[in-house]
Amino acid sequence: MDTTKRSAKSVIAALAKDWMSVVGIILLLIVFTILSQVKFGEQYFLTWSNFKNILLQTSAIAIVAIGQSILLLGGNFDLSLGRMLCLTSCVGATLMKAENPMPLGIIIILMFVIGLCVGSINGIMVAVIGVPAMIATLGTQYICYGLAKLITQAVPIPKMPSQIAWLGRGYIFGQIPVCAVIMVVLYAIAQFITTKTKVGRNIYAVGGSKEAAFFSGINVKKYHFGTFILGSILSTFGGLVLMSRLNSVAVTNGQNYEFDGVISSIIGGVSLAGGKGRVIGTMFGALFLNILFNGFSQMGIDPFVQDVLKGIVLVLAVTLDVIGNVKKS
């Protein structure tokens, strides 16, 4: 009987840890549906039109958050992801709007090359030289942002090529956003790789204990470097989706996406301590955040107040993660 009770408790604890974001999403949907009905006398929140907007707003952030969550699983994080997105988008948009533009395919390849260069610099500094991830990526964050402002002179670039419009503004059957489908597919691939392959198991091992992973024969430096490269690829792709959805590029593109990725990951059950959690939870964490702030906007809450609330969500999520890790140790 005691064994059964302990088993039930462990199952509930696991569900609470891994799927609390889903429970949170359901609660938010219920609360904002009721508030919307009370405030407006009719339903504005729980509509397919509003949910499409939430999916559109979530997609780019969630794609960037895949890379951040895998970095966290491997025991690192990257503070440059948002500004890397900004830089690659600004370079791409500038080339696309040139008087004699290069072929679009080549421009997109150049965007990814720039992203890979930034990711490689981060990887070399952290994995090879041993610079702390916070310092290394904070430095590249400032470099990326400065270069983006130099390239654009902080002037927005409107009207992206129609060839990429489908990526951020296209719909399947006229109802399902293409970028949301891409987001789900990328998360399914990332979840499969991290849970069903040797590479994924090694990422968890490195994040759980670098020393133990090293003595078991895992090339720790290679995995640290590789996760920074993956983060740069996903950040650049997120930038493509965002520039397509907004149909413009500005130096504000991707602002705070690195922190949104961390918050989404922690809410989704990925631990800051490394080696714990599931990538798929990050997608639900990103959805939770965007549903929360979509509801706040509909309720007329001041955007500056929303920034304060986002900070509170981050502090609470990190605190709960730390408390959970202390209890387990």
Is residue 10, in this structure, part of any structural domain at all?
A: no
Beta-carbon count within 10 A of 147 CB: 17
Contact 120, 60 (CB under 8 A): no
Taking Cα atoms as reference points, which of 281, 322, 303, 262 lies closest to residue 76?
262
Is residue 19, in this structure, part of any structural domain at all?
A: no
Task: Tell me the torsion sign for CA atoms 311, 313, 318, 322.
Answer: positive
Task: Tell me the torsion sign for CA atoms 155, 156, 161, 167.
Answer: positive
Is residue 230, in this structure, part of any structural domain at all?
A: yes
Is residue 23, in this structure, part of any structural domain at all?
A: no
Is residue 35, in this structure, part of any structural domain at all?
A: no
Q: Which two tokens stand for residue 51?
A: 């949910």
Is residue 171, in this structure, part of any structural domain at all?
A: yes
Is residue 178, in this structure, part of any structural domain at all?
A: yes
Domain that holds residue 220: 43-320
Q: Name the domain count of the chain.
A: 1
- Which pLDDT does position 146 carry in this prediction? 97
CATH code, domain carrying 108: 1.10.3470
- One-letter amino acid of 64: V
For residue range 25-75, what is the model confidence (pLDDT) as tens digits? 999 999 999 998 888 778 888 899 999 999 999 999 999 999 999 999 999
Q: Which two tokens stand for residue 210?
A: 């670098």
- Which pLDDT does position 1 carry in this prediction? 47
Cα–Cα–Cα angle for 8, 10, 13, rounded to 5 degrees: 110
- Which pLDDT does position 40 carry in this prediction? 78
Q: Is the pTM of this model over 0.85?
A: yes
Q: Which two tokens stand for residue 108?
A: 């997109």
List of the chain residues with pLDDT < 50: 1, 11
Calpha distance 188→280 (Å, rounded) = 7
Q: Which two tokens stand for residue 184?
A: 């789900």
- Which pLDDT does position 134 carry in this prediction? 94
Is residue 1, in this structure, part of any structural domain at all?
A: no
